Amino acid sequence: MNKMDFSIHCQSCSFSHLCLPVSLDENELKTLDEIIERKKPLHKHDLLVEAQSKFKSLYAVRSGSFKSYITTSNGQEQIVGFHLPGDLIGFDALSTQHHQSSATALETSMVCEVPYTTLEQMAERFPTLRKQIMTCMSDDIKQGQELMMLLNKRKAEERLLYFLAQLSQRFSERGFSDKQFNLSMTRNEIGNYLGLTVETISRLLTRFQKENLIRVDGKLIEIIDYETIYNRSQGLHNDLLIKMA
Amino acid sequence: MNKMDFSIHCQSCSFSHLCLPVSLDENELKTLDEIIERKKPLHKHDLLVEAQSKFKSLYAVRSGSFKSYITTSNGQEQIVGFHLPGDLIGFDALSTQHHQSSATALETSMVCEVPYTTLEQMAERFPTLRKQIMTCMSDDIKQGQELMMLLNKRKAEERLLYFLAQLSQRFSERGFSDKQFNLSMTRNEIGNYLGLTVETISRLLTRFQKENLIRVDGKLIEIIDYETIYNRSQGLHNDLLIKMA
DNA sequence: AGTTTCAGTTGATTAAGATCATATTTATGA
DNA sequence: TCATAAATATGATCTTAATCAACTGAAACT
């Protein structure tokens, strides 16, 4: 056994409930595990996927985090998603066989590479896997629609509260603390994603701290009042809630 | 032969190049044609797909147009897309087997219904069809991302110009005039989709007319200067273009 | 036909967030 | 370890599009 083998397998991966292994039986899982390649770690700013490049593999995030973004004709960058462990990156290439968006590491990160050709062969043999891929794609569509709604109808405060609530929830699903976590992205990137400026993000974070919703220490965020964060991210304020009760 | 049979078949459908038939051979096309049901016409405001309902079929628009929208927890409606002939409606249900969004007719319209179970059986037999379904889904994701970018980074003028340019282009792809067309949606619905108010849409349309980009007569739009419309929808203004040259 | 409702236009005012400017703190690299 | 760059914070001002209001025209409905 290779020294560098840290015994990472789908069978024992703590994110298998969020990843391709969902709904595969033991045999299928073994086959999947065999075709997946573990790549060496990527560092901050390293490019994992380049827009326009040919679609060769899907990537599952094992550790760390990524952002994916598209670039407009006039050179502006639009972040379309942040990816945490268990997330799959690269679906948007299934249509044209070329990636629509680029993805870079936000911090030192590890990924599992799933070569497309072998994945397709497996999909042929295991209908459950095919279904899971469809599900992941459909989820992507859903998430896009939700985000669109957010950007369209909600104001700055609601957008950032939604972002925080969602992060907290996603960390929780992954077995990390949902009360305290590090932002691997900059305020600038958060703003880009939410359609706001850095200054607005900065001001709001200070305000949320004053209002005792969160505690901010640089990149470290502590969620103090999740209930209120969630309600207000939905446009429901305290006075409104009292009225309804 | 039934009186109501207008001899509508995938083989002769003028939108087959945009719809599921893409890349099917004659035999496959015949099978597809046989499982598709032509429904009777829907009228304005008629519900085609209801959010949360069980996924039974995909629908291909044959004539007329639809909007699809999601409804937030606080009851607000967010339009996520407009559908023209050749478009497929219902993909967002593949994940959960329940529809995420509702779709209603914007005018008297016809659809072809593709029962999911039979479609799945066909997908099993014809890899090209499976690929086409994937492609359609991936296109949905892409379109969502583009729209997100639009809502995030562009100002009112650019959003509406983009909307007009895109409509013109889509009409053209479908063999309709790209210079003159009817808006089947209200100003209100355009605003909802683009994240703007009715008043803003109205004001902009009058302004675009004054600037000789378009000619507006109620629902009828005439595209006068597509070039400028497109350039300005991308944030490129005349003075900027001159500088670059 | 006439009334009511809905869609669209236009103006005045306001508010939210962008932009500009500057300071400060934190990272990064020679 | 210091120097430089990048990220963050905060105040002042400006711009954009929302909001509020009033009016007109077009459908829809007995």
CB-strand contact B200/D, under 7 Å: yes
Structural domain spans, chain A: 3-127, 149-244
Least trusted range by pLDDT, from A1-15, A137-151, B11-25:
A1-15
**Which of A146-150, A205-209, B41-45 is most confident?**
A205-209
Looking at every residue in chain A, the average pLDDT score rounds to 85
| A172 pLDDT higher than 90 | yes
Please answer yes or no on whether B153 and A195 come within 8 Å at the CB atom: yes
Per-residue H/E/C for chain A: CCCCCCCCCHHHCCCHHHCCCCCCCHHHHHHHHHHCEECCCECCCCEEECCCCECCEEEEEEECCEEEEEECCCCCEEEEEEECCCCEECHHHCCCCECCCEEEECCCEEEEEEEHHHHHHHHHHCHHHHHHHHHHHHHHHHHHHHHHHHHHHCCHHHHHHHHHHHHHHHHHHCCCCCCEEECCCCHHHHHHHHCCCHHHHHHHHHHHHHCCCEEEECCEEEECCHHHHHHHHCCCCHHHHHHHC
| B245 pLDDT higher than 60 | no
Q: Which of the pair, A125 or A221, is modelled with greater confidence?
A: A221
The pLDDT score that the predictor gives to residue B4 is: 43
Q: What is the CA radius of gyration of chain A?
A: 19
Q: Which of the pair, B5 or B197, is modelled with greater confidence?
A: B197
Looking at every residue in chain B, the average pLDDT score rounds to 86
Compare all CA atoms of chain B with the CA of A76 and give the residue at the minimum distance. Answer: B153
Contacts of B153 in chain A (CB under 8 A): 72, 76, 78, 195
DSSP label at B106?
S
The pLDDT score that the predictor gives to residue A3 is: 39
A5: pLDDT confidence band, cut at 50, 70 and 90?
Answer: very low
Q: Which residue places its CA closest to the C1' of nucleotide C10?
A: B203
User: What's the average model confidence in pLDDT over A31-55?
Assistant: 88
Pairing of strands B47-49, B102-105: antiparallel
User: What's the average model confidence in pLDDT over A231-240?
Assistant: 77
Compare all CA atoms of chain A with the CA of B95 and give the residue at the minimum distance. Answer: A135
B94: pLDDT confidence band, cut at 50, 70 and 90?
Answer: confident
Cα distance between residue A40 and residue B75, in whole Å: 47
User: What's the average model confidence in pLDDT over B44-49?
Assistant: 93
Pairing of strands A102-105, B37-38: unpaired
User: What's the average model confidence in pLDDT over A164-169?
Assistant: 96
Q: Which residue is listed with tokens 């219902």?
A: B90
| A201 pLDDT higher than 70 | yes
pLDDT digits (tens, 9 = 90+) for A62-71: 899 999 999 8
Contact B68, B79 (CB under 8 A): yes
The pLDDT score that the predictor gives to residue B1 is: 39
CB-strand contact A206/D, under 7 Å: yes
The pLDDT score that the predictor gives to residue A180 is: 96
| B240 pLDDT higher than 70 | no
- Segment holding B48, helix H or strand E: strand B47-49
Least trusted range by pLDDT, from A188-202, B4-18, B32-46:
B4-18
Contact B168, B162 (CB under 8 A): no
User: What's the average model confidence in pLDDT over A158-167?
Assistant: 96
Residues written for chain B? 245
Please, what is the angle between helix A198-210 and helix A156-173, to 10°? 80
A221: exposed, middle or buried (Cβ count in 10 Å: 0-12, 13-18, 19+): buried
| A239 pLDDT higher than 80 | no
The closest nt to A199, taking CA to C1', is D9
B142: pLDDT confidence band, cut at 50, 70 and 90?
Answer: confident
Q: Given CB atoms, is A153 within the 8 Å cutoff of chain B?
A: yes
Which one, of A176, A61, A38, lies nearest residue A108 by Cα? A61
Question: B3-127 architecture in CATH?
Answer: Sandwich (2.60)
pLDDT digits (tens, 9 = 90+) for A91-115: 878 777 899 899 999 999 999 898 8
The pLDDT score that the predictor gives to residue B244 is: 52
Least trusted range by pLDDT, from A22-36, A39-53, A176-190, B93-107:
A22-36
Please identify among residues 56-75 of chain A the ones whose CB lies closer than 8 Å to any CB of chain B: 70, 72-74
Q: Which of the pair, B175 or B32, is modelled with greater confidence?
A: B175
Cα distance between residue B190 and residue B192, in whole Å: 5
pLDDT digits (tens, 9 = 90+) for B146-178: 777 777 788 999 999 999 999 999 999 999 999
Task: Give the Å distances, CA to CA, from B170 to A55, B54, B174, B181, B191.
Answer: 27, 30, 6, 11, 19
| CATH entry, A149-244, from 3.30.70.360, 1.10.1660.10, 2.20.25.90, 1.10.10.10 | 1.10.10.10
| B238 pLDDT higher than 80 | no
CB-strand contact B199/D, under 7 Å: yes
Please answer yes or no on whether A74 and B148 come within 8 Å at the CB atom: no
